[in-house]
Homo-oligomer: A and B are copies of this chain.
């Protein structure tokens, strides 16, 4: 941290004394992500000055690393000419996310500043559904004819490729633009010069549809160990590629989404679930995301209260039962959370499918029985000390049944949500706990009622 603080101070000092060439030089050796971090840190009054000192292309690259709020600041501060340059230089997939993230009233006027080709491209991309492969692909790729030789292809690449394009994989298309095969650049290099590229031995094609969910792309690229995947439209025409670095970011976002859902942090609305850097989130934004589940769970908990009310005389008879209430309902909730998180993650990575439910229920029954019996000894011992033999018996038996029922609830909820076409992560820890509580209260006091 000290290092970056020094850098920030140094840059600010240079700017204050107008030594712009030195600033330029300082930025020249930075990676775009480092430069973006540095700009984020320096005082707002200097941010625009620095940004204007940078080479157009580099500035556009940096821009895509900014948080949406900083992007808005720049868009509203830059001159029209500068915005036109920015929009022309920024990479197509970053341009898509820019227009996705900017508020409507800022994005709309920008559309007029796009050059006709970029506008057409953008409209095409926005015709694909949100969070689809089409939205994250880049439409810039090299496509060649499969009758060409390796040498012809390499010559073509050297002539046509610009530095923005991914040329790690070259795509062969037919006269209608339909994808025929792909040749990794490395295979092309290792091939004989006069070998036709249709004769180069390559791995089988793995293709994505532009309409598929972006999560599918993450799954596929991992399964087949590729660094880029071709994307086709319904007519099998190659329309873009997705690259592994973008998919890695998506994987991180999707995982964060799962984490937040499981933690019960979610507005309840479908959109904008990924909240970016939590540090930048406002109080109101976080409040809105968190209150939904908390209030919902209050109403679930009414049932626990109602269940307790039915057993008031048992409780009046032996008040000591209340001492074990948190212990028992927590244990059910804890075992349930464990089971739920194992399923949420396994369903999320694709390790487990919905058809495995029954098999897993049977196993969970045995595991939770073992867990419950072990825990019954611990809880029973405490029960014996505090309330004597009979209380120990009530607490012990309740513990076993509560842990089993909590576990079965925890492991089933993610499947039920999947069945209902919801995200399994919606089976959040708090939800599992609250539902397990109701059954816990009923089990505990019923057994107490029976034995005491």
Interface on A for B, CB 8 Å cutoff?
1, 29-31, 33, 154, 157-158, 161, 163, 167-168, 185-186, 189-190, 203-204, 206, 221-227, 244-245, 248-249, 251-252, 255-256, 258-260, 262-265, 277-279, 283, 286-287, 290-291, 293-295, 297-299, 301-302, 304-305, 308-309, 312, 315-316, 319, 322-327, 329-331, 333-335, 337-338, 340-346, 349, 351-353, 355-356, 359-360, 363, 366-367, 370-371, 374-375, 378-379, 382, 386, 403, 429-430, 433-434, 437, 441
Contacts and interface: CB of A to CB of B under 8 A. Distances in A.
Contacts of A154: 189
Contacts of A185: 168, 185-186, 189
9 contacts: A167-B190, A227-B244, A244-B248, A251-B251, A252-B349, A264-B334, A305-B326, A308-B323, A326-B329
A323 B337 CA distance: 23
B315 A322 contact: yes
A263 to B, nearest CB: 3
Nearest to A328: B301
Given A279-B356, A327-B298, A433 B333 contact: yes
| A-B pairs with lowest CB-CB distance, top 4 | A263-B341, A301-B327, A334-B430, A304-B326
A429 B224 CA distance: 35
Contact of A379 (B262, B298, B355): B298
Given A286-B367, A330-B434, A259 B158 contact: no
A168 B184 CA distance: 9
Contact of A327 (B157, B258, B277, B305): B305
A33 B224 contact: yes
B227 A297 contact: no
A222 to B, nearest CB: 6
A290 B245 CA distance: 35
Contacts of A189: 154, 157-158, 167, 185, 189
A291 B340 contact: no
A163 B366 CA distance: 48
Contacts of A325: 308, 322, 325-326
A328 to B, nearest CB: 9
A66 B338 CA distance: 26
Given A31-B223, A244-B248, A294-B334, 17 more contacts: A1-B355, A33-B224, A263-B341, A278-B346, A278-B351, A286-B363, A287-B370, A291-B371, A291-B374, A293-B338, A294-B374, A295-B375, A299-B378, A301-B327, A302-B327, A308-B326, A337-B429
